[in-house]
Amino acid sequence: MAPHPAGSEEPFTLGVEEEYQIINPATRGLRARGKRVLNAAQEAVGEEVQPELRLSQIETATPVCATLAEARAELVRLRRAVIEAATRDGDQIAAAGTHPFSQPEDQPFTAKERYQQIAADYQQIARELVIFGCHVHVGLADPELGIQVMNRARVWLAPLLALAANSPFWVGEDTGYASFRTEIWTRWPMAGQPQVFASREEYDELIRTLIAAGVIQDETRIYWDIRLPARIPTVEFRVTDVCLTIDDTLMVTGLTRGVVRTCYEQAQRGEPFPAARPELLRAAHWRAARYGLFSELIDVSAGRSVPAAELIESLLEFARPGLEAAGDWDEVSQQVRATLKHGNGASRQRDVYQRAGRLEDVVDYIVQETARGTGAAVATA
């Protein structure tokens, strides 16, 4: 992904990656048809659709976008292409951070050298890794300011996670978490929140040390919730579950860019930032994954617990200068407040389960929400 589209005047460009579930319409379980769906989807959109770790997964990556409107158009185009490819194969596509009941051991790995090596290296935690995320890239060409953005954005990762949490069920049980995907993922040695870095050189030196020590094979094995990718000049946020709807994804994307832009401008002015203790960050992250929007969350900057809605409003106000600069304030703030009112993906999934009492109905709901706004017809059993 290039840092800026040709002719764009927007310095903080966008790119979004989404990981989807491939569903059997009859059983509503995961289905290992990744190669077939991938081939059909690539006929329509090329390399913007890619395989993932499991054959029951598939991933899309938008081209570089200058505006949220462009990002919406690309997300619609890519979701529609994947859904239509799956439909032709007799499958469905679902966007949730975990599948409600399929067993991890039943999901074969994709026959790709990188994925086979991951399975060999990480053993049981790789065998249990059947999760689906959303990654947002924001173009930022200055590597030193990229470090300063990371340093400042760390304190906003937990409320962003709570807002987008979308994985309450796992292997047939209600986990009690809003984002159980987060708990599965944080077992990985290079996952979690990065620490404060004094400079890009310090960041790069750590990466070199990790590679030399044999901890990771290359820079792409850094899986922090926010990182500076090795090959493209962006800041990448990797903290959230894949979102149910395109509106949810655009909310996360707009907020992410708003945070990045605000942090960037603060760094340019040399403003101080809260160098939060890692223990407090970890606790805040866990609280967001556990409760989502329906309890108190930890305001890391203030060092206290506050109602979730209050912290989400603080996130929104922090990002406001960046959102207004991009012309995104009205759209994003309205969607954030709608989510506070109606619930995140996790609470909406639970609402369906409480009404219907069957996890198969939850899968049906996820499939329908995934397709909403794409114009794509969904396969039926």
pLDDT, tens only, 250-262: 999 999 999 999 9
Name the pLDDT band for 116 (thresholds 50, 70, 90): very high
* Mean pLDDT, residues 149-159 taken together: 97
Q: Which residue ranges form the domains of the chain, and what is each CATH number?
A: 14-187+224-371 (3.30.590.20)
pLDDT beyond 70 at 268: yes
pLDDT in tens, 323-366: 999 999 999 999 999 999 999 999 999 999 999 889 999 999 99
pLDDT in tens, 291-300: 999 999 999 9
Residues 6+ apart with CB under 8 A from 124: none
Residue 359 neighbours by CB distance under 10 Å: 21
Q: Which range has highest mean pLDDT (68-82, 115-129, 216-230)?
A: 68-82
pLDDT beyond 90 at 11: no
pLDDT beyond 50 at 5: no
pLDDT value for 8: 46
Angle, helices 308-326/157-164, rounded to nearest 10 degrees: 100
pLDDT in tens, 186-232: 999 999 999 999 999 999 999 999 999 999 988 889 999 999 998 88
Name the pLDDT band for 7 (thresholds 50, 70, 90): very low
Q: Which range has highest mean pLDDT (111-125, 207-221, 236-250)?
A: 236-250
CA 18, 14, 290, 353 torsion-angle sign: negative
pLDDT beyond 60 at 174: yes
pLDDT value for 141: 85
More confident residue, 219 or 37: 37
Token reading at 77: 């185009």
pLDDT beyond 80 at 3: no
For the chain, give the secondary structure using H, E and C. CCCCCCCCCCCCCEEEEEEEEEECCCCCCECCCHHHHHHHHHHHHHHHEEECCECCEEEEECCCECCHHHHHHHHHHHHHHHHHHHHHCCCEEECCCCCCCCCHHHCCECCCHHHHHHHHHHHHHHHCCCCCEEEEEEECCCHHHHHHHHHHHHHHHHHHHHHHCCECEECCEECCCCEHHHHHHCCCCCEECCCCCCCHHHHHHHHHHHHHCCCCCCHHHCEECEECCCCCCEEEEEEEECCCCHHHHHHHHHHHHHHHHHHHHHHHCCCCCCCCCHHHHHHHHHHHHHHCCCCEEEECCCCEEEEHHHHHHHHHHHHHHHHHHHCCHHHHHHHHHHHHHHCCHHHHHHHHHHHHCCHHHHHHHHHHHHHCCCCCCCCCC
Name the pLDDT band for 275 (thresholds 50, 70, 90): confident
pLDDT beyond 80 at 127: yes
pLDDT beyond 70 at 9: no
pLDDT in tens, 334-345: 999 999 999 999
pLDDT beyond 70 at 1: no
Residue 112 neighbours by CB distance under 10 Å: 13
pLDDT beyond 50 at 4: no
Token reading at 312: 């989400």
CA atoms of 361 and 349, how far apart (whole Å): 9
pLDDT in tens, 48-74: 999 999 999 999 999 999 999 999 999
Name the pLDDT band for 237 (thresholds 50, 70, 90): very high
Pairing of strands 304-307, 169-170: unpaired
Rg (C-alpha) for the chain, rounded Å, is: 19
| Average pLDDT, rounded, for the chain | 95
* Mean pLDDT, residues 94-123 taken together: 95
Identify which of 237, 231, 298 has the alpha carbon closest to the alpha carbon of residue 263. Answer: 237
Tell me, what amino acid is at 2? A
pLDDT in tens, 89-99: 999 999 999 99
Token reading at 332: 């994003």
pLDDT value for 2: 40
